[in-house]
Amino acid sequence: MAGPDRPGKNPVPLILIVIIVFTGSSPLKQAVAETPAGYDLLVIGPESYRRILQVFLDFKAAQGIKAKFYPIERISANATGRSIAERLHEFIVEEYSQSGFKYLLLVGTYEHVPTRYVYSPSDELGLADFNYKPSDWYYGVPDWNDFEVGLLGGNIPKIAVGRLPVRNEEELDRLIKKIIRVEADFQPGLLLVLKDQAVNVDSLLDALRTCSPLRVNTTPSVLDTSFLKNVTYLVTITHGSQNALFTGTPDGELKTLITADEASRIVEGYAIHYIAACFAGALDLEGESLARVLVTTEGGPALVIASSRTEWSGNPILPVFWKRFFATGDVGQSFLDAVETYLLDANVFSPFKPSFSSYNFYLNKAIYGDVSWRIKNPVVSITDLEILANSNTHMENGFKNLSNVNPVEKETAFTRNIIILLLVAFLIYTFTARSRLFKRGSTLQ
């Protein structure tokens, strides 16, 4: 046919191009496209945890994070003549050189997957001789050198290391469900800073003032759950012990803010708890760890950053982490950036004389939770503030009304809708074109 009555050009190529563009820009496809060769997350834990961990690995795959599980028993079997920690480090280095993975998740306590005790002398406030510090960051530095401990730029981690500090399958199952629940239904809210009266948080506030709505409180005598209303991120800068946080009173006394027993009764859920307090993240001391209880209970935070030994309220890692996190939403990479900035600070470290006390503030930090967590929108928008202020606790409500929607469906819903609309448009166009041809044929007859 020819002439003005001829239908337009074949729309099929155009529609296919549009479909490809839209499917390629979906969150899931975009994340997969950005994934380098190999995989992103290496998970190491007991073989008995494989079944439960598979749910977590499938969830991460739906988010575009390629993950691999490897049982610690296989590594332990090949540790003849060397410590398991050394053999584990060697295995991680080999995997890193082949795949370039970004995140490492150790599953279990030190009894399941050992940590590395790094020589870094200090008196720990005179409480005891803790010259050897437990540090999972040993595994995050492929070219680790004991002689660089305490030096400027020494042992900068390349892999973000986290741990799920569970003792049994029941705790692992509960924690995995909480992680999936919080990550799948994440909604940004407020960042609450609870601090001791004597603590100066100006550097933190300067870093966060333009990043997220803030609420700063001098710590009360007890950590009432009302403080967690509309809170997504919690920072506590206080005194601490292995199983409790303490707040200083104006007359110099210390009063208990929260204990491990009380933490186990928290029902409100929130995303991240950064604890800047001594010993709260210790897994190897006698008694329970506050950070471990917080992350393994059904409520409370899905991820905790804490110290296994002494901490400094002015630790510059803290504000840099939050600033990078609110800019990228990447928990593990944000912490790596903060640590690298710290270790390269010539005002803190000397290239010649080790500064062990300062170095401890890096070695001691532990991430308990999903270190590979990437949040697309970690900050609440200004337009959401009024809604947030007039709503009930959004995280609490989210935990009471859990969604069973498959994460893959959530990621691809927008893409499917676009494809359906385009196909409908194509069918309408085809029907219209055929009608014109039929009328044209009738006229010619």
> And the tokens for 235?
């920072």
> Is pLDDT above 90 for 167?
yes
> And the tokens for 390?
């007039």
CA distances from 430 to 8, 12, 201, 360 (A): 11, 10, 65, 70
The answer to whether residue 30 is domain-embedded is no
- For residue 17, the model assigns a pLDDT of 27
Question: Of 343, 310, 315, which Cα lies nearest the Cα of 150?
Answer: 343
The answer to whether residue 434 is domain-embedded is no
Q: Is 206 exposed, middle or buried (0-12, 13-18, 19+ CB in 10 A)?
A: exposed
Q: Which residue has the tokens 């296919």?
A: 16
How many beta carbons lie within 10 A of that of residue 439, not counting itself? 11
- For residue 58, the model assigns a pLDDT of 96
| pLDDT tens for each residue of 182-216 | 999 998 888 888 888 778 888 888 877 756 566 66
- For residue 190, the model assigns a pLDDT of 84
What are the residues whose beta carbons fall under 8 Å from the beta carbon of 14, sequence distance 6 or more? none
> Is pLDDT above 70 for 226?
no
Q: Are 75 and 87 in contact (CB under 8 A)?
A: yes
**Which H or E element spans position 56?**
helix 50-62
Residue, of 42 and 204, whose pLDDT is higher? 42
The answer to whether residue 439 is domain-embedded is no
| pLDDT tens for each residue of 420-431 | 445 545 555 555
What predicted TM-score, i.e. pTM, was given to this entire model?
0.76
- For residue 386, the model assigns a pLDDT of 34
Q: What percent of the chain shows pLDDT beyond 70?
A: 71
CA distance 90 to 86: 6
CA distance 197 to 364: 24
| pLDDT tens for each residue of 51-94 | 999 999 999 999 999 999 999 999 888 766 588 999 999 999 99
- For residue 205, the model assigns a pLDDT of 82
Number of H helices, E strands in the chain: 15, 15
> Is pLDDT above 60 for 303?
yes
Structural domain that includes position 308: 35-404
CA distance 167 to 109: 6
| pLDDT tens for each residue of 311-351 | 988 889 999 999 999 999 999 999 999 999 999 999 999 99
The answer to whether residue 153 is domain-embedded is yes
The answer to whether residue 4 is domain-embedded is no
Q: Are 103 and 159 in contact (CB under 8 A)?
A: yes
- For residue 426, the model assigns a pLDDT of 54
The count of structural domains within the chain is 1
> And the tokens for 396?
């609490």
DSSP 330: B
The answer to whether residue 297 is domain-embedded is yes
CA distance 218 to 195: 5
Q: What is the mean pLDDT of residues 271-295?
A: 94
DSSP 308: S
Q: Which residues of 362-395 are buried (b: 16+ CB within 10 A; e: fewer)?
A: bbbbbbbbbbbbbbeebbbeeebeeebeeeebbb
> Is pLDDT above 60 for 382?
no
* SS3 labels along 141-185: CCCCCHHHCCCCCCCCCCCEEEEECCCCHHHHHHHHHHHHHHHHC
> And the tokens for 373?
């967590």
- For residue 121, the model assigns a pLDDT of 87
Question: Of 143, 79, 140, 84, which Cα lies nearest the Cα of 112?
Answer: 84
Q: Are 380 and 189 in contact (CB under 8 A)?
A: yes
The answer to whether residue 422 is domain-embedded is no
Question: Of 322, 303, 317, which Cα lies nearest the Cα of 362?
Answer: 317
Q: Are 331 and 272 in contact (CB under 8 A)?
A: yes
Average pLDDT, the chain: 78
Q: Is the dihedral of CA 214, 217, 223, 227 positive or negative?
A: negative
CA distance 230 to 395: 7
The answer to whether residue 3 is domain-embedded is no
CA distance 332 to 259: 27
